[in-house]
Structure formats: structure tokens, C-alpha cells
Amino acid sequence: MDIRSQVAMVFHLDKCIGCHTCSIACKNVWTDRKGADYMWWNNVETKPGTGYPTQWENQEEYKGGWVVKDGKLQLRLTSKGKFLQKIFHQPSLPTMDEYYEPWTYRYEDLFNGPEQDDQPTAIPVSKVTGQYIDIEAGPNWDDDLGGSPLYARNDVNLSALSEEQRLQLLSIETLVMFYLPRICNHCANPACVAACPSGAIYKRGEDGIVLINQNVCRGWRYCVSACPYKKVFYNWSTGKSEKCLLCYPRVETGQAPACFHSCVGRIRYMGVLLYDADKIEAAGLKPDSELVTAHRDLLADPNDPAVIESARKNGVTEQVLQSARKSPVYRFVKDWGLALAPHPEYRTFPSLFYVPALGPVTYSMENGVALNPTSTEEIFAPLDQARLPMSYLASLFGAGQEAPVRYAMKKMLAIRTWKRATEVGDVDLKVALAGLREADCDPEQAEAIYRLTSLCSFEDRFVIPASHREQAVEVLTNPLERKGAAGFGFREAPQRGF
Amino acid sequence: MFPRITPRQVLAWAALATLAPMLAPGLAAQDAEAQFRKSCMSCHTIGAGRKVGPDLKGLGQRRPHEWSSKFIQMPSAQLDGGDPTAAALLREFNGTRMPDLGVTAAEAQALLKLIDDTTAAGRTLGSAAIARAATPADIRNGQQLFMGLTRFASGAPACMSCHSAQGLGGFGGGRLGPDLTGASGRLGVGLVPAIENPAFPTMQGVFQKTPLTADEAFQVGSFIKSLAAQPPARTDMAFPVLGIVGLVSGMLLAGRLGRRRFRGLRRNLKPRA
């Protein structure tokens, strides 16, 4: 047993309104720089859709993540023997076209334009060439099903659906969508770390945040290809790769990351998870059908004395252990089984989990026309009448397995019905309770889930332990000496070359 | 602190200053010998026999210094000016003209003095040309020396490090100096002396301290002469053709190996039902 701590996350998709506030908060704090203008460490995608970069889930082309080959866990992209062959021309990189050509507007024309009959306009100009461009793509080009005949129809997850289901999904009466905010998953088995030829990427021991050392990065861009979620970006100005750093300067001071803090729908939860690093490889070798269970088995019970002992031996502090016991993430993922990792079949074991959206799932139809629901039964129709087929969610969150998705959805549906029975009273309590039991839940748990979902305070959502940087410093230098000597120091901006 | 200057030191300096002019003639003689080695010795010896030009031993007795001085300074004027002695010498040495070396009047006087002094002292300067015909063994040894397969006795660098010539194998030789394939045509009888006592500034820098022996120079010269007798190398078309074929097939191979590379997704998206 090798217990380590990980700052983990849950995004409750039922609450996401797709406002992109998180993306803007992140952009303003971190990526509003030359060379980083196309980076969206946090982005919000509309599903069904192709996302950003276009079709990032298409691993046939992008070759991200891990595969089991000859009984061993290997990167899909390359192997230790082969990577040198392609090091100067790495063939699986997204092009600018899969991201977008960054642009700005020529605002000065508004002030300097000559006097004429028409109003002056600020034309879009490329940030690459400086010339006028006809904008063809953007970071959320398919937002709210924009361009859906092209983008939504090419969602990779739709391959799991039958032809009939696909047609139904895209016809106007039964159109459905939900939002998927994405940041770096800070995986337990990160493919980007494994692929880096320079050894520049590392997973921090104290909180599991995956970072790129800008002094060591040589810009080979293997991480860009190896990350199946395409959350590492290459900065063309500094010649180094960059990624979400989970706002670690904020996390270290007990604050939630910028995207978490600014979230309007309060969909984001952050807490500590303890996981057993010894089990990772065996879990990665499991077949697709057992991956969700294997991933949950990695996560250790913070109340188990054996776990606590092993964690202490690894230097996990008491505050972190205490915080792990109060972790909202542990409750959503392990206790309740509601939150699921995105695409577990990539075998990186993300530390970000999603509670699938129940929102527009159910629906009543007659002769192809939507009915105005008149009773609770009509609102909460069985899952199989959901507008969004379970197989789609299974492809996104269950490695193709419907069971874990169904379990989560059924429980949420049962809780809604239960709350309807207790608060509104138009459902029979006995029926609601039976439904609750059937969904592997009880009134007590239903209440807890309801509270953490709907009535959660700031402290409920973000349980971030003190990180004790002063103790981390002790490893390297005498803290009293450092106290007298450390200041802002000489800041060296990352740049090309050695 | 500055070192103290003692009266004894002052005296030593004064003595040195007085003696210096007396040493000057000796220095001048050394200069003349250096110039002789540099400019004359490729073709002439003093007391070692004829080479490309005549042995200069006893020149003072044979001709007046005035004539010799003029000839040394500007041989072309004497040779073309119808001077009977010059014409006779030209005939005697098979029409090999002495080049104008830009020697000044003072230098000519110094050289004549050197010739007289050396004659009087009974010394010899330079070595006579080897007169025998080159054997196949000479040519083979010459090639070995040229290519550096055998080292020069003095440890001088092999010819091949700077020069190329026909028949050195696929890679040829260096490109710093000229190709020596046709050198025997250009230098004629001066080839071997030019190897032994090169008059070229670049070669002098290299060979001054590590001169070739007469035998080595003869062997290398024989090798270079033998090249002139061989038919010129054919321009080989195989190499450029092979190059083009190689390039095309290399590009095809690279294209084939990279056929599964990422070719862009967004542009290739097609609406699907």
C-alpha cells in the first residue's frame, strides 16, 4: 500500500449553465500572454459537439492516452524504443486548424477611420499574420449546438449510438445538449508525464498537481500528443509547453482555483482524495468493463487505519488527512457513486469527476410533438425515455458501460422524486421511498446529496487543506535562513533555447 | 616597487648598444641565406651541381657582379633584350626562363656576396636534382607519401591534406590547395625542386621546419608526373543519377512511412446523418 494525497475535483453538470465565466477567469489570470492566446486551460464544451481542439476524443487520430498491449500498459502514441525516430517530426500533433487561428480586432480603426457615410468597423485580424482573416473557427465554435450539422454530428461519442438514435438526437423536436467544462484532470497515471522526453513534467508529491518545469521543457511536444484530453498546449512564443496548474498558488493558500471560485452555477467541488499508487498499474490493465470500478478501488478510505498509517509514512500531514475525511469529492465519487471520470478508457485515472447531467433527460412525446408535462410522473419519466441516450453518456463517462451511468442517473432521479414527495407532496411517499431503495439510496443519503448539491456553502464545496509550504522548504534549506534571504528573487521569463 | 637600476646594468646596456651595429653584417648574411633558401634554392645550388638552373658556385669569377645583379633583379629584361650571355644560358637550360622574382638591388648585392662567401668558404648550399628516370617503385612510393600512407621523414603533413589529384580514390584529397593532376605540365622541370624547396608562401609556412628530403621530393614528383601520362578521368554520370533516384525513392519511402500521420481533422469533417 502506497497512499498518496491528491487534490481532486467534481463538476456537477446538472448545475452548469454554460456561461464560460470559468474560461474567462482562467484566461485573464494565466493565458492572456503572447503565444498563449489560443490556450484554454479551462474551456466549456457543448455536448454533443466536437469540443476543443476539434474532436479531441478521436484517439485514432490524436493517439492520446494508454492502451493495453501484450499485457502491458503502454502509451498509444509511441514506445521507449520508437520515440527517438520521430522526435524531430512528431506526427500526431493537432494543427492550428484543430485549435483556431488566434485573432484580434483592429480597434484603432474606430478612432482613426476617415470621415465617411458609414460607421467605421473594427475588422478581425489574425494574430499570426497580422492580416485580415475570415474567422473559421474558435475555441467554442460549436457552442450551444452552433454549426451542429457539422460539429454535433461529428461528436466521437455518437459512434456508440445506432443510426436511428443519432437521427432522433439531431432532429429539432428531440434536440438535446448539455455543457462539459474541462480543465486538466491532474491524472493519477498521467500520459503527459510518461511521454515527456525531457522529464520536464512532474506530479507534485504533496497534492498531485501535474506541472511543467519551464526551465527543463525543451518543446518536444510529446505531452501535447500523449494527453488524451488535449489539455497541454505549446506556447509558440517561448517554445515551451504549458498546461493548467490548478492555480496552485491559490490552492497553497487555501483558496479555490480561479475557475472554481468564479463559477456562477457553483458546479465545482474540490477536496482531497487518498489513492493507492501501488494499485495503479493493475487497475490500468483491467478490461474496459471493469475500469470504473478499478478506478474507484484506487481511492482509499480516509477513515481506514491502515490507509492512515501508510499515508503518514508517505509524509501526508494530519491536516490533509483531516481534510480527506471531509472531502466532498470522496462523497460524490465513493460514498454515493454519482460522479464519474471522463473517458476512463484512456486509462489515465483522472482526478476530475463529473456528475452527469440529468436536466433535459426525460421527456414525453406524442406523435412527434412534445407534451407539456402535467404530472410528476410525466416530468420524471423512466430513464429509457431520456432524450439523451444512456449509451451516449456511457461512451463519455463509462468506457462504454451503461451500468455506472445508469446507477448515478437513477439515484439522482429517485432523489428528485423523493424531494418532490417530501416538499411538494404530489408523489406518494411510499412510491418515492421504494424508488429510493431501488436506486440504492435511503432518505438520509438523499438528504445529504440534496444538501451538497443544492444548498452547499463555499466551505462545503471547497475543502482545501493547508499546504505547509514552510515545511516543504525545510527539505531544501533551513527555513530561518530562507526567511531572511527570500524575496521575489530574479524572475526569469521562459524563452526559447537552452 | 620598481626594481632598482644598478650602475652595472647601465654599463651592460651601453656595451650592448655599441656592439649592435657590429653584429649587423652577420645578421645581413643570415637574411641573404634565408632569402636564397626561399627564392633561389628551388632551381639553384651553390656547389652541389646543376638543378633547373646553373650551379652558382664561382659566379663571381665567371661573370661581372654588375651583370649578375641586373639579371637577378629582372631576368626578363636580359632574356628579351638580346643579351648574348642570357641567350646562351637559355639555350643551355632547354628554354627554361628564370622568373622575375622582384629582388631589389640591395638584396641582389647581398645574394651575390653570399654566393662569393660560400664559394670562398668551400661550403655548399642546396642539393642537386636527382637525374635518374623514375621507376614504378618511385611512383608507388610517391603515391604512398602523397596520401600519407607513409610518413615523411621530417613528420611533415601529407600532400593529400591540402591537395587533390587524380587516382586518390573516391573521396579525393583536400581542397585547400590546387589540384595537382596537371602540375607537371605547369611547373615542368621545376616540379621536384618546387616540392623540395617550395617557393609558395603557404607551403613555406608548413614546410619550413619540416622540409622533405631530396628522395621524397623526387618520389612525390614522379607520382605527380605519372598522372599527366594517364588519360583524364571520365565524368561519371552514375553519381548524379544515383543521387536523383535516391532522393525520389527516399521521399517516397518517407511518405509511405508517414502515411498514418495526423492530417488535420476539422477541415476533413463531413456532415453525417
CATH number, domain of B72, equals 1.10.760.10
From B258, which residue of chain A is nearest by alpha-carbon distance?
A91
Amino acid identity of residue B155, one-letter, is G
**What are the grid coordinates assigned to A316, written together?**
501526508
Q: How far is CA A241 from CA A91, A100, A198, in A?
A: 17, 17, 12
Is the CB of residue B269 less than 8 Å away from at least one CB of chain A?
yes
**How high is the ipTM of this complex?**
0.73
Contact across the interface for B264 and A98, Cβ inside 8 Å: yes
**Tell me, what's the pLDDT at A289?**
94
Among A254, A270, A296, residue whose Cα is nearest residue A8: A270
* Among A93, A137, A153, beta carbon nearest to B266: A137
Residue B80: predicted pLDDT = 83
For range A178-193, the mean pLDDT: 96
CB-CB under 8 Å, B269 with A151: yes
What's the CA gap between B65 and B70, in Å, rounded? 9
**Chain B residue at shortest CA distance from A62:** B262
Q: Cβ of A145 under 8 Å from any chain B Cβ?
A: no
Enter the C-alpha cell of residue B230: 594517364
Question: What's the grid cell of residue A328?
Answer: 466532498
Place of cell 573516391: B170
- Has residue B141 been placed in a domain? yes
Distance (Å) from the alpha carbon of B260 to chain A's nearest alpha carbon: 8
Distance CA A178, CA A158 (A): 14
Look at A486 and B78; give whichever has higher pLDDT.
B78
Lowest mean pLDDT among A15-24, B25-34, B124-133: B25-34
Rounded Cα distance between B62 and B92, Å, is 16
* Binding-face residues of A in 98-137 toward B, CB within 8 A: 98, 137
- For the domain spanning A289-461, the CATH number is 1.10.3650.10
Residue B269 lies in a domain: no
On whether residue B115 sits in a domain, the answer given is: yes
Q: Is the pLDDT of residue B127 over 80?
A: no
CA distance A144 to A49: 9
How near does any CA of chain B get to the CA of A133, in Å?
A: 17
Q: How far is A359 from chain B (nearest CA, A)?
A: 25
Instruction: Please state the φ and ψ torsions of residue B33, each to the nearest 5 degrees.
Output: -65, -40
* B260, B266, B273: residue with CB nearest A54: B266
Contacts of B261 in chain A (CB under 8 A): 91-92
Q: Nearest-CA residue of chain B relative to A165?
A: B273
What is the reported pTM?
A: 0.71
Among B262, B268, B270, B272, most A C-beta atoms within 10 A, so best to mutate, is B262
Contact B260 A91 (CB under 8 A): yes
Taking an 8 Å cut-off on Cβ atoms, the answer to whether A149 and B261 are in contact is no
Extract the C-alpha cell encoding A119.
460607421
Q: Is B266 on the interface with A (CB under 8 A)?
A: yes
- Interface residue B261 vs chain A (CB under 8 A): yes
Question: pLDDT tens for residues A31-55?
Answer: 999 899 999 999 999 999 999 999 9
Beta-carbon contacts of A420 under 8 Å, excluding residues fewer than 6 positions away, are A376, A380, A426, A427, A432
Share of chain B above pLDDT 70, in %: 90
Nearest to B265 among A89, A98, A167 (CB): A98
Burial A115-147 (b: 16+ CB within 10 A, else e): eeeeeeeeeebeeeeeeebeeebbbbbbbebeb
Q: How far apart are CA B145 and CA A422, in angstroms?
A: 108
- Please give the tally of structural domains in chain B: 2
A418 touches B at CB < 8 Å: no
Confidence at A343, pLDDT banded by 50, 70, 90: very high
pLDDT at position A260, please? 97
pLDDT band for position B40 (cuts 50, 70, 90): confident
**Best residue in B265, B268, B270 for a mutation probing chain A (most A CBs within 10 Å):** B265
**CB distance from B272 to chain A under 8 Å?**
yes
Contact list, B258 vs chain A (CB under 8 Å):
89, 91
Q: Which residues of B are less than 8 Å from A151 in CB distance?
A: 269
Does position A110 have pLDDT exceeding 60, yes or no? yes
* Whether B262 and A91 lie within 8 Å, measured CB to CB: yes
**Contact criterion met (CB < 8 Å) for B273 and A167:** yes
Residue B130 covered by a domain: no
**SS3 readout for chain B:** CCCCCCHHHHHHHHHHHHHHHHHHHHHHHHHHHHHHHHHHCCCCCECCCCCCCCCCCCHHHHCCHHHHHHHHHCHHHHHHCCCHHHHHHHHHCCCCCCCCCCCCHHHHHHHHHHHHHHHHHCCCECCCCCCCCCCHHHHHHHHHHHHCCCCCCCCCCCHHHCCCCCCCCCCCCCCCCCCCCCHHHHHHHHHHHHHHCCCCHHHHHHHCCCCCCHHHHHHHHHHHHHHHHCCCCCCCCHHHHHHHHHHHHHHHHHHHHCCCCCCCCCCCCCCCC
Residue A374 predicted with pLDDT over 70:
no
- 8 Å CB contact of A153 and B271: yes
Question: Which residues on B lie below 8 Å from A50 (Cβ)?
Answer: 266, 269
Interface of A with B in 4-63 (CB under 8 A): 50, 54-55, 58, 61-62
Please, are residues B195 and B102 in contact by the beta-carbon 8 Å criterion? no
Question: Do the Cβ atoms of A414 and A438 come closer than 8 Å?
Answer: yes
pLDDT (0 to 100) of residue A53: 93
The predicted structure's pLDDT at residue A481: 82
The C-alpha atoms of residue A8 and residue A327 are separated, in whole angstroms, by 9
Does B262 contact A92 at a Cβ distance shorter than 8 Å? yes
Q: Are residues B80 and B158 in the same domain?
A: no
Q: A154 contacts in B (CB within 8 Å)?
A: 269-270, 272
- pLDDT score at A488: 65
Q: What is the pLDDT of residue B23?
A: 52
The tens digit of pLDDT for each residue in A279-331 reads 999 999 999 999 999 999 999 999 999 999 999 999 899 999 999 999 999 99
Q: Which of B260, B265, B271 sits opposite A54 (nearest CB)?
A: B265
Per the structure, the complete domain to which residue B27 belongs is given by: 22-121
* Structural domain contains residue B105: yes
- Per-residue pLDDT of B57-74, as tens digits, reads 888 888 888 888 888 888
Chain B residue with CA closest to A147: the answer is: B271
Quick one: pLDDT band at residue A474, thresholds 50, 70, 90?
confident
pLDDT at A378 over 90: no
Q: B270 to chain A: nearest residue by CA?
A: A150
Task: Give the pairing type, strands A352-355 and A3-12.
Answer: parallel
Which of B261, B264, B271 is facing A150, going by the closest CB pair?
A: B271
Test mutation, A85, A136, A150, chain B, max B CBs within 10 A? A150
Q: Mean of the pLDDT values across residues A125-131?
A: 93
> B257, B260, B262, B266: best mutation site toward chain A, by most A Cβ within 10 Å?
B266
Domain boundaries, chain A: 11-259, 289-461
User: What phi, psi does A235 have (nearest 5°)?
Assistant: -85, 110
Q: How far apart are the C-alpha atoms of A135 and B108, rounded to whole Å?
A: 86
- The beta-carbon neighbor of B264 closest among A89, A97, A163 is A97
Task: Nearest by CB to A58, from B265, B267, B272: name it.
Answer: B265
Q: B258 in contact with A at a CB cutoff of 8 Å?
A: yes
Q: How far apart are CA B36 and CA B147, in angstroms?
A: 30
Chain B residue numbers touching A163 (CB-CB < 8 A): 273
Nearest chain A residue to B259 by CA distance is: A91
- Cα separation values, A15 from A47, A181, A383, Å: 15, 11, 19
Cα separations (Å) of B262 from A97, A141, A349? 12, 22, 26
- Give the least confident one: A4-8, A257-261, A384-388, B190-194: A384-388
Sort out which chain B residues have CB atoms less than 8 A from A137's CB and list them: 266
Sequence-distant (6+) residues with CB within 8 A of A391 are: A160, A161, A165, A402
Confidence of residue B97 (pLDDT cuts 50, 70, 90): confident
Residue A304 CA to residue A80 CA, distance in Å, equals 38
